[in-house]
Amino acid sequence: MRNYGRILQDMITYACSLKDIEKQQALTLYVAKCMRQKNITWNKDQDSGMARVKADIIRLSNNQLNCDFEAFDQLLQSKEPLPMPQQGGQKKKNKNKQ
């Protein structure tokens, strides 16, 4: 699953090691949002829905992460697009030609 990147895979591994359920769910939710955005970027022609993200989280965590909690279900039902990250550090220069 190269489209997600190594960092997201490492975050899933870390989430599996967490003992605090609330922290684990919060990290799982964050990872799901990132994975959804990566799916939209890499797979413009295919379905980038949260059902696919949920299946990928379960597969990447070897069935260790549980995506069956209320906040994840709300994200699953959400149809609004996530905001695109802004590219920092680059400012457009206004060239005044006179």
Which pTM value belongs to this model?
0.70
86 is a domain residue: no
Give one word for 27, left, alpha or beta, with left for phi > 0 and alpha for psi -120 to 50: alpha
26 is a domain residue: yes
pLDDT band at 22 (very low <50, low <70, confident <90, very high): very high
92 against 21, higher pLDDT? 21
pLDDT (0 to 100) of residue 35: 85
6 against 82, higher pLDDT? 6
Give one word for 89, left, alpha or beta, with left for phi > 0 and alpha for psi -120 to 50: left
SS3 (DSSP) at 12: helix
**Number of structural domains in the chain:** 1
Full residue range of the structural domain in which residue 61 is found: 6-77
17 is a domain residue: yes
89 is a domain residue: no
Q: In percent, how much of the chain has pLDDT > 90?
A: 21
83 is a domain residue: no
66 is a domain residue: yes
For the stretch 38-71, pLDDT in tens is 877 776 666 557 778 888 899 989 999 888 888 8
